[in-house]
Amino acid sequence: SFVQSALARLPAAGLAAYRLRVDARAADLYERGEQGDEAALRQIVDEFFASRWGDQALDQLGDAAFRDGRFNQALAYYRGLIPAPDAAAEQAVYPDPDVDRSRVAAKILLCEAALGNPPTSGELEAYRVEYPDARGKLAGREGFLADVLASALAEDRLGPGSESLTGWRTFGGSPARDGIAVDPVEVGSFQWKVGLAPTRAESTAGFDDFRGATIGRRAGSNESQSPQVFPIIVGDLVAVAEDDRVTAYRMSARPTEAGDEVVRRDAIAWEQRLPGMASQPSRGVPAAVPAPQTLTASGDRVFACLGANRRGGGVLMAIRSNTEVEGKLIWKKSASEINLPVRRQAGFDKGSASYEGTPVADERRVYVALTDASTETWVFIACLDAETGQTLWVRYLGNATLAAQPGRAGASIAHRLLSLEADRLYYQTNMGGLACLDAQTGAIRWLATYPTRDRQALPEIQRMPNPAIVHGGRVIVAPADAAELFAFDAASGRPLWQSPPLPQIAHVLGVAGGKLFGTGDRLYTLDVTSGRVVRAWPEVGGFEGFGRGLLAGDRIYWPTRTEILVLDQATGGDSRSSIPLWQQFGHGGGNLAAGNGYLAVAQRDRLVVYCQSRRLIDEYRMQLAANPDQADRHYALGRLEEATGQWAEALSSYEQAMRTAKPGETADGRPLAEASRGRRHLILMSLGGEAAGRLDW
């Protein structure tokens, strides 16, 4: 992108000479693009941006992304034609676009509205002044574009999606690893618990062997002993990966026997296992270090990577997760089946490559990192078709010696996760570098480095799974081979800031209100624009963090062994309250996931689910009484009413959600209106089946 930006800034004579050399190839690609080959248009933008066909390719790619609801991508393409006033100097901007600027400017405003930044009345008036006579077709309308734009903004209910209301679908809550649950978490009542198979090398002793009186609030982090299972919430299911299986449980299940342990068969919605996986030996990984277990959901698919530390490098699985075919295995692919483009000259073993953890995914594609390690580690990123598992591209990133990989012997073993934002992939290597790739083609957009530290010289670094966090045009990393945190410009890779040494930060939870939050022995609050530590709470002493917390509403939820501390985002501390799990329910903290009125806590040997449905139902109904056009709230209310057996109310809520849904809103990985229609259909089919069973024709 740097080269294309430089070419676009050439003086007229230089630009003409350049185009003389490349226009013929760009024209061939554009002809393919007009016949529906979107990849050919992307190739023009990637390789021949400043050619005479670059402006047309940008415009058409933006239109295609907008039609698909990929508003971030659409905006990025349109901004290549009309840059934002505060655009970075290195951004590639087409030098002399021969497109209808008035129409592109209108589409930019529509994209901004769809992303939650609708134009002000002043901006609309400025558009009308700049393009007073512009006419054309836009957003299903025809006429003066200023009038068309105003009508679309008023009538089409453009607005951002609301995925955070309906689940916690991957590590960090979102593919960009910056998820924030909209509603505060309040544990209304205990729902159920179920045993988990202890992660390899972990103790099989029950968590309840701990005594609350002796493990309360202790200074110093013990994250190296934290649970390694990270649950996700998809619709009304909570899913976890274990050593040799993926299991989805119905959160609405209730114990059927004495006590609070739910019987697995009564709670399991579906399960997929890989026979023999648990018995396979590890691939040279220290037995005392358990591997993290994560999952990713996208659309109606759940993706898992099992056995990444075992012989064969692990197996990637795609599982269908919906009511019609719950738990159906769509495809599976071992690491050895992916053909790596670069081979070592000597001693190469075809089966030596291994997955680096669960993939990140969108509706069409799955992205996963692989390494091929012996005395050196070779790093690759692979892209697979989400529906078939077919390999679409593989990109070699580089290699490093084992001595340069302090994270390899720590808690981030075989679990270096990718992050995805719009059409860009980001990979934090824990090997001194951060890479940005084009998600469609695998082309390397930029590579950035940071100063590393020898892990043996800094044994106190306690990083847990640490993918890059993408937020507000920044990529923020907390590497396992450095004590500091770093931020880079998401578009160019330009370094933005480096924090003071903070080796105690185990989990970076995300960004809210201009602040970055991390937990370890304390809650650390950093200014997201400078990396300056705003506050470390508590000022004296500390807590024993136990698991990954989350951000929800305006609060921070930080689990310890016995409770969940509920802290204020605005102040970076100042405990509002705590959720005394041990005192009230006899269970402690762990890795948290929240959604659809439930809180899931994954401990070292069990999964515990709490319910807050009744409170949320009342809250949503009050909110909708004040503002009845919130489609996302109608849908969330319908899910809660459905979970509590209020069928008539749920049908009404889904119908309201269908009526008020905005084009950009999603729920459970689908367009919100479509998801609402699907839930309504399932309820009607269920009620119809019951009526038929009663012969109530």
Question: For 211-242, how does the pLDDT look when each residue is reduced to its tens digit (9 = 90+)?
Answer: 333 333 444 445 557 889 999 999 889 999 98
CA 690 vs. chain centroid, Å, equals 39
Task: Please list, in sequence order, all residues whose beta carbon lies within 8 angstroms of the beta carbon of residue 434, skipping any fewer than 6 positions away.
Answer: 426, 427, 428, 447, 448, 449, 450, 468, 475, 477, 486, 488, 493
- Residue in 362, 336, 499 with CA at minimum distance from that of residue 422: 362
Distance from C-alpha of 521 to C-alpha of 452, rounded to nearest angstrom: 22
Residue 270 in this model has a pLDDT that exceeds 50: yes
* pTM reported for the whole predicted model: 0.78
Residue 652, beta-bridge partner list: none
Which residues, in sequence order, are CB contacts of 178 under 8 Å at separation 6+? Answer: 172, 469, 470, 471, 510, 511
Average pLDDT of the chain is: 83
Residue 9 vs residues 4, 27, 154, 616: alpha-carbon distances, Å:
9, 21, 38, 55
The angle that helices 12-34 and 54-67 make with each other, rounded to 10 degrees, is 40
Question: CA 111, CA 123: separation in Å to the nearest integer?
Answer: 14
* Burial class of residue 114 in the structure, from the number of CB atoms within 10 Å of its CB (0-12 exposed, 13-18 middle, 19+ buried): buried
Return the top range by mean pLDDT from 338-352, 399-413, 443-457, 549-563: 549-563
The pLDDT value given to residue 15: 94
Q: What is the CA radius of gyration of the chain?
A: 26
Give the mean pLDDT of 237-255.
Answer: 87
Q: Find out whether 539 and 552 touch, Cβ atoms under 8 Å.
A: no
Question: Which one has a higher pLDDT value, 581 or 281?
Answer: 581
- Rounded to whole angstroms, the Cα distance separating 423 from 76 reads 9
184 confidence band (pLDDT: 50, 70, 90): confident
From residue 596, give the alpha-carbon distance in Å to each of 359, 578, 639, 652. 24, 21, 7, 18
CA separation for the pair 226, 503 (Å, rounded): 17
CA 646 to chain centroid = 32
Give the pLDDT score at 285: 45
